């Protein structure tokens, strides 16, 4: 490897061209020689040991840059994993609350419309007791898949814990969000859960609230949670 080429990888080594002794100026332009200059020293004046040391140093810098790029990739992957639910391919509670907080800040500043939907898998305990917890996990994965397939890229789905999901619908008022929740509920019921060569039907209850400007994240989540339990109570009473 030529010192002149390798030195480009090391920011501390400056490579340039030095005018030949007695260089001639023609119409304001200096005629340059072919001497390579490293940190102000012509390559020809470098001793073999200095040249060897610079080569080793530049090789080390290149290696460190490669290690840094690899470390950044690993950090990016770990950040993505930290946001995902360990069972389902959706946001976990922490990441969902972060997105909700961000959306509420947009609502407060720009008067954007958005709604929050709390979604509960009905009778998860019965599924677990009658068919086992793996069947319950299959039902949760199925619901997450159906909902994810029927929302926009701008919407946010997350698992809040246990059998509860949160869905953040941007640019959606109360009526629009209620219509979407009904649509998702029908889609879940119409698509049986595959389990051990057989299938069973799962259903959900949805509580919908339009996000109110000035309310906190906790207040908004409590309203949605109450709306969802009101829906479940009416279903159980019926």
pLDDT score for 196 = 93
32 or 80, greater pLDDT: 80
- CA-CA distance, 31 to 15, in Å (whole number)? 18
Phi, psi of 106, deg, nearest 5: -65, -35
pTM over 0.75? The answer is no
Percentage of the chain with pLDDT > 70? 79
Neighbours of 117 (CB within 10 A): 26
Spans of all domains in the chain: 3-83, 93-237
| 24 has a pLDDT exceeding 50 | no
pLDDT in tens, 139-191: 999 999 999 999 999 999 999 999 999 999 999 999 999 999 999 999 999 99
92: helix, strand or coil:
coil
pLDDT in tens, 33-83: 455 665 566 767 778 887 788 778 878 888 888 888 887 877 666 556 589
CATH code: domain 93-237 is 3.30.70.270
pLDDT score for 27 = 47
Find how far residue 171's CA is from the centre of its chain.
Answer: 21
| 213 has a pLDDT exceeding 70 | yes
The residues that are catalytic are 163
């Amino acid at each position: 490897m030529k010192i002149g080429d390798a030195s480009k990888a090391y920011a501390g080594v400056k490579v340039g061209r030095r005018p030949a002794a007695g260089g001639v100026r023609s119409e304001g332009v200096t005629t340059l020689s072919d001497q390579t200059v490293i940190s102000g020293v012509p390559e020809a004046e470098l001793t073999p040991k200095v040249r060897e040391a610079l080569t080793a140093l530049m090789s080390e810098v290149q290696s460190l840059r490669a290690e840094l790029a690899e470390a950044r990739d690993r950090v990016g992957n770990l950040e993505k994993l930290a946001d995902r639910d360990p069972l389902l391919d959706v946001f976990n509670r922490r990441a969902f609350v972060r997105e909700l907080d961000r959306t509420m800040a947009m609502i407060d500043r720009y008067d954007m419309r958005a709604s929050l939907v709390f979604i509960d898998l009905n009778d998860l305990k019965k599924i677990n007791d009658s068919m086992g917890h793996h069947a319950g996990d299959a039902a949760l994965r199925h619901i997450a898949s159906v909902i994810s397939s029927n929302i926009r890229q701008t919407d946010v789905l997350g698992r809040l814990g246990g059998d509860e999901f949160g869905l953040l619908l941007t640019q959606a008022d109360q009526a629009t969000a209620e219509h979407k929740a009904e649509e998702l509920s029908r889609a879940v019921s119409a698509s049986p859960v595959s389990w051990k060569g057989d299938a069973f039907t799962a259903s959900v209850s949805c509580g919908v609230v339009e996000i109110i400007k000035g309310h906190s994240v906790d207040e908004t989540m409590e309203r949605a949670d109450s709306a969802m339990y009101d829906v479940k109570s009416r279903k159980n009473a019926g």
